A = this chain, B = another copy of it.
Amino acid sequence: MSELVLRWGLLSTARINRRVIGAIEETDRSVIAAVASRDGSRAAEYAKTHGIPHWYGSYQEMLAAPDIDVVYVSLPNAMHVEWGMRAAEAGKHVLIEKPIALDPRDVVGLEAIANDKGVVIQEASMMRFHPQTSLLRDLVASGVIGEPRWAHGAACFSMSGSGDIRLDPDGGGSLWDLGTYPVTLFNAVLGRRPLEVSALARVGTTGVDLTFAGQIRYEGDVLGSFATSMETWPSNNAEFAGSTGVITVEDPWLFPIGVGASGRVTIRTSSDAEGSTSHRSVADANAYVEEVTAMESMILDGANEVFPLRESATNIATLTALLKSASSGRVVSVD
């Protein structure tokens, strides 16, 4: 096959795949070459349903295949690092679902192997690739709200089904599933180092947090706070307040707009005596297509990271500190 087309292998048959499959189908320089599952018949069935040329009844078998350039790891959270490492060791580029790891040291390990093997490893945090996130970061960086003072976000939905994988003590919970959004957004948009965190959680019978309230102190004493929940009627919004303005975002995490539309960003500022309100939105974009396109550009054109792996490391460090704070009842440093 031409070197200008990336052959993707899907590692797992998780539901999130369909977003990435759709995105790969929309881009010119990627094709889906294979899917792997530990259950061969499931892999075969999945390949047939989605028109995927090859299937493998084991993950390792697909990683050994020479005609796979990129592996998309959509396994349960606790398996992200192991299979991301194995894919990189096999010389594949890797896109790993968020959260990329449950321990920040593992992100350092992933960085090391990416450098060693000369492959691209990225966290599939689709929001980070969407132009709305860049718009927010650029607005704050340009001083449109003056000195930022605090950020708030809510990322909540109501989980259906008691057997949900998000109830699994190993990598489950609302923080790992939803907290990655506000933490990733705040870290990217504020562009400041998170120093310490504080948190309270409502823990369910399986031991994972069902609802989580987190606070982050950034350098310069900018404060961030968020609520995540898997047990409320959906509430999704974010706000960035600064000395001379406030930005409110209707769909900060891009569900459901991540699959093709653009949301609404409202800016209130003191640019005139009365204060003024304006609305901004970016051109319609599919965050998953942006994510796949970024992989193509990095791998095929040597482009820089849109979402630096360094940022993933900081985000994971923030999330682990938040969990530690919730269980210890203490402010915890972000290392």
A residues whose Cβ falls under 8 Å from a Cβ of B: 145-146, 149-150, 152, 154, 156, 158, 196, 198-200, 202-203, 211-213, 215-217, 221-225, 227, 229, 231-235, 239, 241-246, 268-270, 275, 325, 329-331
Contact = CB atoms under 8 A, between A and B. Distances in A.
Instruction: Pick the most buried of A196, A212, A234: most chain B CB atoms within 10 A of its CB.
Output: A234
Contacts of A199: 198, 215
Nearest to A158: B243
A156 to B, nearest CB: 6
Contacts of A325: 198
A318 B215 CA distance: 18
B233 A221 contact: no
A217 B200 CA distance: 7
A316 B211 CA distance: 26
B241 A229 contact: yes
Nearest to A237: B239
A213 to B, nearest CB: 4
B150 A213 contact: yes
Contacts of A331: 198, 200, 329-330
B241 A235 contact: yes
Nearest to A227: B150
The number of times this chain is found in the oligomer is 2
B150 A232 contact: yes
Contacts of A202: 149, 221-223
A140 to B, nearest CB: 13
Given A223-B211, A223-B213, A330-B329, A231 B149 contact: yes
Closest 3 A/B residue pairs (Cβ): A202-B221, A329-B331, A232-B241
A233 B227 contact: no
Q: Which of A216, A222, A232, A268 has the most CB of B within 10 A?
A: A232
Given A196-B329, A198-B331, 4 more contacts: A154-B239, A198-B199, A213-B215, A233-B246
Contacts of A224: 213
A227 B150 CA distance: 8
